[in-house]
Structures are given as structure tokens and as C-alpha cells.
Structure 1
Amino acid sequence: MYTNINKQIDETQQRHRKHKKLKLKLDQLRLSLQTEKSKLIRYKTILDDEEQDVNKLESFSLGALFYTIVGTKEKKLQKEKQEYLAAKLKYDEAYETVSDISEEVLELVKLVKEYQSSDQDYEKLIKMKKEMILQSKDENTEKLIQLREARSELQEDIRELKEAIQAGNNVKSNLRNMSEALHSAKNWGTYDMLGGGLIATASKHSKIDRANRYAHQVQRSLRLFKNELLDVKVHGNFDLQLSSFDTFADYFFDGLISDWIVQSKINNSLNNVSDMNRKIAGITQKLNIQSELKQNELDAINKSILQFVSEME
């Protein structure tokens, strides 16, 4: 009997905790969606402004004629095109992010509904536990219930830590793909400077395009990693510095555009990727340490439970 009741207690506690975490995630996701929608509107305004600047210089306007006469039109046009391209990359990223988060919100709303009954079940569980303790009139029964509750909490902590570690590893994998594409582009850029010609230039730009596509994958995996870290209980000096996750793509695109025009350098972009990779590696290392500590606590509680059960038999 007690085995079935204890199993019911564990399952109800887990569902109740899962429901709370899902609601927290949903709230955070909705805030992120509002932020990204605001960014999308802002980048659209910037993009339109930059496009107008390019069009003005490419037209036969008085301003364009002035720049041509003084010999600076091409330089000015190149600068405006670079600014337009940076704005376009950021706008496209924001658009994809809004689309991704919108889908995630819909999925999470469904999940939250599935766990709605957990609150009522949890209230019933509290009453049932009180009745069990009163009926047994045994301190060991109360202690055993407390130990099982602690075990259930630790099991959930460990599961959430492992999910966060996996999400961090996904970020590192995407960063590695981006870094490889950038290193390849840098090598082709050096070859181009040594006289590689059109093929080298095309190859370099192909690698940069691939790195650009990876940027969204990295940004998305960073967001998912950040969401998983919301579930994690951490102790001690554990500075996650999550704010930099949200702006990684913006910094990367700025570096990409400034590097693009220098044939032999992809350094800014590579530095951005390397810095983020070091940060993620540091966080996942701390998560692994937390997981090991939790596992040690769980092992100790399991021993205590076995001891109590053997004494009660």
C-alpha cells in the first residue's frame, strides 16, 4: 500500500513542480517575444532608412552628384551599403526569432494546459500526507515521507541540470560549426590576397554566407539554453551573465560586415564566436559540478531511505 502511495506522491510532486516551471517559462517566453517584436520594429525602421540612403547615392540627385564631383561617392556608397547590409542581417535574424518564439509560446501553452490539474492534485496530496502521518503515529513514517520528498526534489534538480548541460552542448556544437566556416573563409581570404582571383573570393564569401546561416542557429540555441537555465537551482558564486546571450547575433553581424571588406581578416567574427564559446564552456562546467554534488546528495538520501525501510519492516 505504502509503495503505491509513495509512488503517487512522487508523481504528483513532479507534475506540480513541472507545472510551476512551465508557467514561469511561458511568462519569460512572452516577455522575450515582446522584446523581439520591439527589436523587429526598430530594425525595420533602421533598414528602411539605410535603404533610402543607398538609393539616394545611387540616383542622380544633387547630393549624389556632389559626392561624385568631390570624388567620394563610391566611398560613401560603400559605407552606406555596409550599413544597409548590417541592418538587413539584424532584421532577418529578429524576424526569424519572432517566428521561432511565437511557435514555442503556442507549444508551451498546450503543455501548461496539460498540467493544470496538478495544482489540485497537489492540494489533495498534502491532505493525504497529513492523514498518513496521523494514522501511523510513527516518527519513522513522517521521516520517510520527508526523505522521499527530498529525493524527488533532487531527482528533478539533476534532470533539469542535465537538460541545461545538453542545451549548453548544443550551443557549443553550433558555435563550432560557425567557427569552422569562419576559419575556412579566413584561409580563402588570405589566398585571395595572394592572387587567388575570383574563385578564391567566391569561396570566401560562400563560407561567410554559411557562417551567417549558423548565426541564427547559435542565437536560437542560446535562447533555449537560457530557458533551461531558468529551471536550474544553483548555489554559490555562479554568475551566468545571460544578458550577452540576447545580443550575440547583433555583435556577430557587426563584426561580420566590418570583416567582409578586409580580404585577409575574419578576426572580429572569430573573436565573438570564441568569447561566447568560452562563456558557455564555463557555465556548462559549473553545471556539471552542480550535477555531481546533487547526485552525491541523492545517493546519501537513498541510503537513508533503505535504512528506514529496513527498520520499519
Structure 2
Amino acid sequence: MRDAAARMHQADHLRRLREATAEQIQQAHRTLADLELELSLEEDDVTRLEGGLSAVLARLLGNREERLDRERAEAAAARQRVDGHRARLSRLEADARAAEDELAGLATAPKEYAELLAEKERQLISGGDARARELADLGATLDRVTADVREHAEAHRAGRAAHDALGHVLRHLNSARNASTWDMFGGGLIADSIEHNRLSAADEAAWRAQRALDVFSRELADVGVSARPHLPQVDTRWFVDTFFDNIITDVIKHQRIENTRAEVAKTTQWVRDVGARLQARHAELSAERKRLLARREELLRG
């Protein structure tokens, strides 16, 4: 069991190392792209001074050689930074590959350790050990808390999906509102066409968002939250806009769009707030599960 625990802890360490290295690699790629752009600009400066209009002007001013030396030095420094960063990136990628290779050899470690703990737990409980009652209680509590952790995670993922879908609706409605504002100040048929196009896109996005809200609602029910969020209908009527286009109908259209946008924004804020509460509760449950697992391991290894 001690050997299995050591292998499992090493696997956990390697997973954390892999995540940290992956973040470093992403950042290194971004930095390298910036440095390569800087090098390209510096080399362009050198090229212009070696020939072309910039070289002619520099000769006329009598400072071509001085400027050329300076630009070459700056280009060399930029090239050195690029080379150094490429070497750093290469080392990071090598570290990531080494961690992956070692982790592959420890892929079964968590399962092996869990099986050993479970076997010892069965032995202690069936043998009437003094720890049996607490282990049995811990097992029941762990099952419940683990299920709660999973359900809160699923609900939070569904909330993120709903929030993203609502964001698409809001973007189309914001665009329609802008076109509607333009229409009130004389945008004419062009503004009407843009407005209608954005409203149609918002209507289509709203149906997708409502489906995401339905999924979110079902996941919330699993964690004891009863909610039936429903989006307002996006008004895409076109007949009045086409045949009775005047300032009164423009104002009415604008108000309809603004009211719909406000309702969608309100629903979006509700989803965001519920998601934050789910995330906080998930963190609490995860901490509780970690504490229970530590106590269980302490009893089994004691």
C-alpha cells in the first residue's frame, strides 16, 4: 500500500507539472511570436539602410554608417532574444514530453491504490476492527459528497453553456438596437434591412439559448434548485416595418428591441449569479470530499 501510495502521489505531482508546463509553453509561444515580429522589424530597418530610399537619405545626411551600425546591433540583439527564447521553448517541450512519458508508466497507479484501500476497508469492516464503524460512516458520506460534487460540476458546465448561448443572443440584439437607433434618425431601408437581419439572427440564437437553458434547468434540479428560465420571443415582424415605415413605428420597434434585450440581459445575469453560487458550492464540496478521503486514508494506513 505504501508503494502504491508513492506511485499515486508521483502521478499527481506529474499531472500538476504537466499542467504548469503546458501553461508555460503557451506563454512562451506568445512571447516568441512577439519577439519574432520585433526581429522582423529590426531586420527590415537594416535592409532599408543597406539600400533603397532610406539609405540615400542617410547618405545625404551623412549619418548612414552610424545608423546602420546601430540598426545592425539592435537586430543582432533581437535575434539573440529570439534564439534564446526558442531554446527555452524547446526545453519546455522536452520537459513536457518527459513528464508525459513518466506519467504513462503511472497511469494505473490511482486505480491500484484505490483498490488496495477498498480491499483493506472490506477486511477491517468484516473483521470487526475498532475502525470499522467510522469507516462505514465515512464510506456512506463519501458516496453522497462525491455524487454532490459531480452533480454541481455538471450543473456548472450547463450554466456556462447557457451563458455563452445567451451572449450570442445579446450580441445580435445589441446590433439590432444600434441599427434601430440609426433607423429612427433616417437610416431608411438600409437600416431596416440590417435591423431585420440582426433580429432574425437573434431569434435563431434565442432558440439555441432556450435549449441550453432547458438543459441547465434539468441539471439544477439535480442539485435541489427549481427554476424554469424562459426567454422572451424575439419580434421579427417585417410587414409593418415595410409598409408603414415612419418615426412612430421606428420608435415602437426600437422599444420592442430594447425590452427584449433587457429581458435577455436579466436572464444572462441570473445565469451568471447561479453559476457563481454553483462554483462556490462545488469548491466547498470538493474540500469536504478531500477531507473525508484524507481521514479514510489515515484510518486505513494507521
| TM-score normalised according to structure 2 size | 0.51
How far 1:181 sits from its partner (Å)?
A: 0.3
How far 1:141 sits from its partner (Å)?
A: 2.8
* Aligned counterpart, 2:210: 219
* Inter-partner Cα distance in structure 2 for 1:217 and 1:306: 46
- Which of residues 135, 140, 151 in structure 2 aligns to 1:144? 135
Bigger RCO (CA 8 Å, 6+ sep): 1
Per the alignment, in what secondary structure is the counterpart of residue 158 of structure 1? helix
Letter in 2 for 1:137: G
How far 1:196 sits from its partner (Å)?
A: 2.0
How far 1:213 sits from its partner (Å)?
A: 0.7
- Which of residues 277, 280, 284 in structure 1 aligns to 2:275? 284
* Inter-partner Cα distance in structure 1 for 2:123 and 2:214: 44
* Inter-partner Cα distance in structure 1 for 2:273 and 2:125: 49
Gaps of 5+ in 2: 2-121, 242-248
Letter in 1 for 2:297: L
* Aligned counterpart, 1:268: 259
Report percent identity of matched pairs: 24
- Which of residues 183, 206, 214 in structure 1 aligns to 2:197? 206
CA contact (8 A) 2:217 2:226 kept: no
* Aligned counterpart, 1:188: 179
Gaps of 5+ in 1: 2-130, 234-239
Question: Residues 13-50 of structure 1: CA distance to partner in whole angstroms, max 9, x if unpaired?
Answer: xxxxxxxxxxxxxxxxxxxxxxxxxxxxxxxxxxxxxx
1:154 aligns with 2:145: yes
Question: Residues 87-120 of structure 1: CA distance to partner in whole angstroms, max 9, x if unpaired?
Answer: xxxxxxxxxxxxxxxxxxxxxxxxxxxxxxxxxx
Regions of 4+ moved over 6 Å: 131-134
How far 1:195 sits from its partner (Å)?
A: 2.0
Letter in 2 for 1:157: D
How far 1:282 sits from its partner (Å)?
A: 1.7
How far 1:173 sits from its partner (Å)?
A: 0.8
* Inter-partner Cα distance in structure 2 for 1:203 and 1:155: 51
Q: CA RMSD in A?
A: 3.0
Letter in 2 for 1:216: W
How many residues get paired? 174
* Inter-partner Cα distance in structure 1 for 2:125 and 2:203: 64
* Aligned counterpart, 1:52: none
* Aligned counterpart, 1:242: 227
CA contact (8 A) 1:256 1:269 kept: no
CA contact (8 A) 1:192 1:263 kept: no
